[in-house]
Amino acid sequence: MEALKEFVNILSGPQYSFTLTLIMFYLLMKYYRIIGTKKFAWGFVILMTPVYLWFMSDDVFRTIIATPDNIPISILLFSVFFFTWLTVHKAAINDERIEAGECPIEGLPENREKVWSWPNLVYNELFVIIAGTIFLIVWAIIFKAPLEEPANPTWAPNPAKAPWYFLGLQEMLVYFDPWMAGVVLPVFIIIGLVAIPYIDTNPKGNGYYTFSERKMAISCFMFGWLVLWIFLIIIGTFLRGPNWTFYGPFEYWDFHKVVAEANINLSEIIWIKMLGTTMPSNLIVREIFGIFVILAYFGISGAMITKKWGQDILEKTGKIRYYFFLFLVLFMATLPIKMYLRWLFTLKYIVALPEWELNL
């Protein structure tokens, strides 16, 4: 048992669990027709329940899960699992119908019938309002608000955690400069979400569930949502303890856990380790390799992707739409790339210009 727990602890380290999540995401996208069956769902539930109970039998894990702050994440986890499965399930059914030459379920005559929003919709809304209010009141009564001591500008709690819905961002900040992860990336996330209807003018999938007709669009979105947002929230909530050190799910939050995670900049690796000289004093010369890497990333990989996969999208959507989309995707990919660089090479910044508050 202990050995198994130890194994789970190691496996949930960010580098492994992120890789596992990537693999799982790939499997989800690849075998969505199997995953989308009811049989699979029940099998999964039956299989996971004992695992969950076993997790819960551990004191440390239970304390983390039951912290009032963390309960929303548990709810979020279950609902994300359920709704992801539900969409996959519906998409799988529709895709099979489409392949057989039928119309999607939503397009059947009995589903196309129109009804009045009053009372059909308004009653539902009323019910949701009442149920939501009751739920929140009961929750507020059962779990006390986790109030802490008065704010003090010269002292911070340890670990200092953002509200749960921002913990993904906070986890992102571990790998980036505050400017990038705190301002630039969130702004691009928002711009990207706002721009979806303008970039994606493909009418397929409007009003019905499908995956096979919209493979790329759905995979891109789900990657950002499940892997880069939800997964990071889970890590930030459950697995980051004092000093923002990583703790496995069964690991006691020992304030004195020491992990050596010294990081170095790309410029230091190249100038000092590889070339064996001192750092040049001219800033641009010092960071020239990093700047080159960044430009090459956007230029070369952009060109390669366009050549390999992008041609027909480029033709279908037009230049501006396509390049904007490509830019957003490449930008999104910087997050996992940066995370792996940190884990594999303890790389801190590719371009480090603290003098100009500019670090990439």
Partner 1 sequence: MSESKKSLNRREFFSFLAVGWITFTAATAGLLGLVFRFLYPNVNFEPEMEFIAGIPGDYDNGVDERWKNGFGVWIIKREGKLVALSNICTHLGCIPNWLPGELKFKCPCHGSGFYPSGINFEGPAPRPLERFKITTLPDGRLKIDKTKKYRYEKGQWNNPDSYIEV
The alpha carbon of residue 94 and the mean position of all alpha carbons in its chain are separated, in whole angstroms, by 27
Query: Smaller CB distance to partner 1: residue 116 or 155?
Result: 155
* Nearer CB in complex with partner 1: 92/352: 352
What does residue 358 show for φ and ψ, rounded to 5 degrees?
A: -130, 110
Among residues 3, 53, 115, 156, the one that binds partner 1 under rule CB under 8 A = 156
- Examine residue 18 and tell whether it contacts partner 1 (CB under 8 A): no
| Structure tokens, 39 | 């049989």
Pick out residues in 215-274 that bind partner 1 (CB under 8 A). Answer: 242-245, 256, 258, 260-263
| Residue from the set 39, 155, 163, 275 that interacts with partner 1 by CB under 8 A | 155
Give residue 73's identity as a one-letter amino acid code: I
Q: Which of residues 169-208 bind partner 1 (CB under 8 A)?
A: 170, 173-178, 182
Listed ranges 95-103, 141-149, 154-162, 199-207: which one lies at the site for partner 1 (CB under 8 A)? 154-162
Contact between 351 and 358 (Cβ < 8 Å): yes
Question: Which is closer to partner 1, CB of 116 or CB of 255?
Answer: 255
- Report in angstroms how near the CB of residue 285 gets to partner 1 at its nearest: 16
Task: By CB under 8 A, tell whether 153 contacts partner 1.
Answer: yes
Task: Quote the radius of gyration of the chain (alpha carbons, Å).
Answer: 24
Q: Does 13 bind partner 1 (CB under 8 A)?
A: no
Q: Is it true that the peptide bond before 159 is cis, omega within 30 degrees of 0?
A: yes
Does 159 participate in binding partner 1 (rule CB under 8 A)? yes
Select 163 or 203, whichever has its Cβ closest to partner 1. 163
Binding to partner 1 by CB under 8 A, coded x per residue (else -) over 113-152, reads ---------------------------------------x
Q: What is the closest distance, in whole angstroms, from the C-beta atom of residue 294 to partner 1 in the complex?
A: 16
Pairing of strands 352-353, 358-359: antiparallel
Least distance (Å) between residue 182 CB and partner 1: 7
Q: Which residues lie closer than 8 Å to 286 by C-beta, 6 or more apart?
A: 267, 271, 279, 280
Side-chain half-sphere CA neighbours of 82 within 13 A: 6
Beta bridge partners of 209: none
CB of 327 to partner 1, least distance (A): 24
| Cβ density class 104-133: b for 16+ within 10 Å, e for less | beeeeeeeeeeeeeeeeeeeeeeeeeeeee
SS3 13: coil
Which residue's entry shows tokens 């033709």? Answer: 315
| Residue 299 Cβ vs partner 1, minimum distance, rounded to whole Å | 25
Residue 232: CB minimum distance to partner 1, A: 12
Would you say 244 or 324 has its CB closer to partner 1?
A: 244
Residues in the interface with partner 1 (CB under 8 A) total 34
Angle between helices 231-238 and 71-99 (to 10 degrees): 160
Looking at the DSSP bridge assignments, the partners of residue 353 are 358
Q: Which residues bind partner 1 (CB under 8 A)?
A: 152-160, 170, 173-178, 182, 242-245, 256, 258, 260-263, 348-349, 352, 354-355, 357, 359
